[in-house]
Structure 1
Amino acid sequence: MTLYSLRDDHALHSARGHPERPARLEAVRERIEANRALVDLVRVQGAPASREDLERVHDPAYLDALEAFCENGGGMLDVDTYATRESLRLVRGASGDVIEIVRRVCAGEADNGFALGRPPGHHARPAQAMGFCLLSNAAIAARFAQEALGAGRVMIVDTDVHHGNGTQEAFYDDPSVLFVSSQQADIFPGTGAMDETGTGAGEGSTVNLAVPGGTTDAGLVGLYRETIGPLAARFRPDLILLSAGYDAHRLDPIGGLSLSVSGLTDLVRVVMEAADAYASGRLVLTLEGGYHPEVLGAGVASSLRALLDPTAEPADPFGPSRREGPDLTEITAHVRALHGL
C-alpha cells in the first residue's frame, strides 16, 4: 500500500508573485486525480505536529517568534521567505502528515508513502526560516521516528537542486542520521561542498554530491547508483526519508540542472532499491522544491507510480534534455574515495 497526503487548505499559504505558490500542489492534485494508474493510492491526513515534535529539531525561541509573526498577520521573514496568518498552522499540519506516514510505514501498515505539503522544509534551520522554508519537515519526521518509534538509524536523501542546508545543520554532529544531499554546486544557499562531511561524532555522516550546472540524467543517476546503495549497505538504516525536489528538471525556472521526469523517477527508484535491500522497504518521501507546476505535477505522479510499481515505465511528457551533460566520473571517484566506498 502506498500512502499520500495533500491538504485542501494549503492555498492559505500564498504571496503574490512568489514562486512557492498554490499552483504547485494544484498541478499535483490534477495529475493524481486524472491518472488511472494511481487509483490504488490511499490518502491520509495526520494530526498537526505537536510542539514537542517541533522542538526535537527547532529552537523554542524561533518557534515562539514564528508564532507571533503569523499571529500578527505575517509578511516577509527574509528576502525569499514569507508567512501568512495561517502559515504556522498549515506547516504544522504538513509536518504532522509526514509523521503520520512515517508512523504507518514503520508499523508495517503501508509499504511507503509521499507527503505532499508546502512550503518545502529542507532550508529551515533549527533557529531560522530560510529559502521559502519554515519548518524542517524531514528532520522533524526523522527525530519522531527515532524518539517515538524506536528507529535507531535514519537515512535522509535529498534530491532537490538546492542543498538541504537546514537538514544538514540539524544532524551535522549526529552519527545516527546519515544525510545524503545532491545539489547543483555554487548556487543558493552556498553550502553543500563535498568536504562538508559532518563534525565530531557525526564525522562521515553527511555526504554531499555537488554537481555542475547542466548535469543530465546519465550523470546524476549514475552518481546515485555508485553511492546510495553502498552508503545504505554500510549504514543499515531502519528508515529512509527522501526529500524529493523536482527543481533539478531542465525546465525549472530556478534550477540549472538538466534532468528529465524519467531521470528524477530513476533517482527515486535507486533510493527504493536501497530501502528494499537495507531498510526493510521503509521509505517515505516528503516534497521539497519544484517551481514549474506542470513539471512538478508530472514528476510527482511518476514518483508515485514508481512507489506503487517500481517496474512501471515513467510517463514523461517533456522528454529528456538534448544537451550532453558534464562527465561526473571524477566527482564520483572523489565521493567514493572520500567516504570509503
Structure 2
Amino acid sequence: MNFGYSEVCLAHDTGKRHPENPDRLRAIRQALTRKHGVEYVESPPATEADVTAVHDEGYVKELREFCDSGGGNWDPDTVAVEATWDAALESAGLAKWAANSALDGEDGRATPFALGRPPGHHAVEDDAMGFCFFNNAAVAAQAVIDDDRAERVAIIDWDVHHGNGTQDIFYNDGNVFYISIHEDGLYPGTGEIEEAGEGGGNGTTLNAPLPAGAGDPEYRSVFDELIAPAVLEFDPDLVLVSAGFDAHRHDPISRMRVSTEGYGMLTAQVRELADESNAALGFVLEGGYGLDTLSDGVAMVHEVFDGMDPVVPEEEENEEVREVITELLDTHPMFE
C-alpha cells in the first residue's frame, strides 16, 4: 500500500498519558518496517479553504488563535499545543491525498492509506471534540466533490466510536453516504438506528450500533447484509474508510471483540465492495489506542492488499446483532 505520512503530525503533543499521542504513528511505522511493499508519500497540508468547506469559519479562526496562543485543553479530552494547527491541517491534507490518489486510479498494492493525526470523525462543523479538530474524511470527501472529481462518496466508519461529526456534516447531503458500525452507548452517545438523514440526505446515513462484545461474526454479518447492499444501491464514485482499530478485543477503551484477523476480513469485504461498485477506495486513520493492536490492525490492512487471504469466521452472529440487522432492514429508507 501507499501510506500518506508526515512528521508534522508527530508535533501534535498531547502528553504521554493521553491515549491519542504521537506514539500511535511511531508504532504503526515500526510494524510496517517488517512488511513488504510499503511506500510512504508526503502531501501538501489542507488549506483553510479546504477545512472551511465543512467547518464554520468562526470555529476555524478560533482554533487557529487558540493554537497560536499555546493551546491547552479545548475540552477535558481534546488537547492542543501550538503545533496542533499545522498537524491538523496536515492530517486533513493526507486524507485529501488518499481520496485524490484513489480517484487517480491508485489501487491494488498502491491503494492509499492516510496515516494522519489528530483523527477527525468527532469534529463537528463548529467545534472540536473527542481528540479531533478537523474532520479529515469530511474534508477529503467534500474536496473531491467540489473539484468535480466525484459525484457521490460513501464513508464507511468502522471505528468503535460513532463518528458524530461526519454524520452531522453530511446529514442533509445526499451526495455523501455516511455508514457507521460502532459500539452502542459508547462515546459520544450518538449513532442510533433512527438517525438516517434528513431532507436531501434522507437515507444517506446508516448506523449499526452493536452491543458490547460483538466480534468478527457480527461485523461480517452487518457488512454483508447491510453495508454492502446499501453502498451498492448508493453507487458511489469513491469509498473512504474511516479506519479506527479500537474495536479490537484488546483495545484499552472499548469492549468489542474484533480480532486482528477480523480487520483483515473487513478489509477484504470493503475491497470487494469497491470493486463491485466500480468505486475508488482509500483509507483514513481514525482511532485505536493499544499500540500493538493499532499497529497490527494497520499492518493487517496492508497484508490483505499484499495478497493475504484472511480467515472468515464460520460462527453465526449473536441474537442481539440479528435484531439490529432485522430492524435496519425493516425500517431504513435504503432498504425500502
TM-score range, shorter chain: over 0.9
Match of 1:22 in 2: 22
Equivalence map 1:263-302=2 (5 Å)? 263-280=262-279, 282-302=280-300
User: What amino acid does structure 2 have at the position aligned with 1:180?
Assistant: I
Equivalence map 1:218-237=2 (5 Å)? 218-237=217-236
Equivalence map 1:1-341=2 (5 Å)? 2-16=1-15, 17-35=17-35, 39-111=36-108, 112-280=111-279, 282-309=280-307, 311-313=308-310, 327-339=320-332, 340-341=334-335
User: What amino acid does structure 2 have at the position aligned with 1:328?
Assistant: V
Return the alpha-carbon distance in structure 2 between the equivalents of residues 264 and 254 of structure 1: 17
Unaligned residue ranges in structure 1 (runs of 5+)? 315-319
Return the alpha-carbon distance in structure 1 between the equivalents of residues 209 and 321 of structure 2: 10
Return the alpha-carbon distance in structure 1 between the equivalents of residues 270 and 310 of structure 2: 17
Contact 1:138-1:167 within 8 A present in 2 as well: yes
Return the alpha-carbon distance in structure 2 between the equivalents of residues 114 and 213 of structure 1: 28
Counting matched residue pairs gives: 327
CA shift digits 1:119-142 (9 cap, x unpaired): 110000010000000110000000
User: What amino acid does structure 2 have at the position aligned with 1:28?
Assistant: I
Return the alpha-carbon distance in structure 1 between the equivalents of residues 281 and 4 of structure 2: 15
SS at match of 1:125: coil
Percent identity of paired positions between Structure 1 and Structure 2: 38
Return the alpha-carbon distance in structure 1 between the equivalents of residues 206 and 106 of structure 2: 31
SS at match of 1:91: helix
User: What amino acid does structure 1 have at the position aligned with 2:300?
Assistant: S
User: What amino acid does structure 2 have at the position aligned with 1:63?
Assistant: V
Taking structure 1 as the reference length, what is the TM-score of the superposition? 0.92
Return the alpha-carbon distance in structure 2 between the equivalents of residues 109 and 181 of structure 1: 25
SS at match of 1:259: coil
Contact 1:214-1:326 within 8 A present in 2 as well: no
User: What amino acid does structure 2 have at the position aligned with 1:274?
Assistant: L
Return the alpha-carbon distance in structure 2 between the equivalents of residues 170 and 208 of structure 1: 15
Q: CA 1:202/1:214 → structure 2, altered by over 3 Å: closer, same or farther?
A: same
SS at match of 1:182: strand
User: What amino acid does structure 2 have at the position aligned with 1:285?
Assistant: F
Return the alpha-carbon distance in structure 2 between the equivalents of residues 207 and 296 of structure 1: 25
Contact 1:158-1:243 within 8 A present in 2 as well: yes
User: What amino acid does structure 2 have at the position aligned with 1:283?
Assistant: L
CA shift digits 1:63-87 (9 cap, x unpaired): 0000000000011000110111001
Contact 1:122-1:137 within 8 A present in 2 as well: yes
SS at match of 1:335: helix
User: What amino acid does structure 2 have at the position aligned with 1:107?
Assistant: D
TM superposition shift of 1:326 = 5.6
Unaligned residue ranges in structure 2 (runs of 5+)? none
SS at match of 1:40: coil
CA shift digits 1:227-275 (9 cap, x unpaired): 1221121111000000001000111111111111111221222111111
User: What amino acid does structure 2 have at the position aligned with 1:89?
Assistant: D
Return the alpha-carbon distance in structure 2 between the equivalents of residues 52 and 103 of structure 1: 17
User: What amino acid does structure 2 have at the position aligned with 1:148?
Assistant: D
Taking structure 2 as the reference length, what is the TM-score of the superposition? 0.93
RMSD: 1.6
Contact 2:98-2:283 within 8 A present in 1 as well: no
Return the alpha-carbon distance in structure 2 between the equivalents of residues 313 and 105 of structure 1: 23
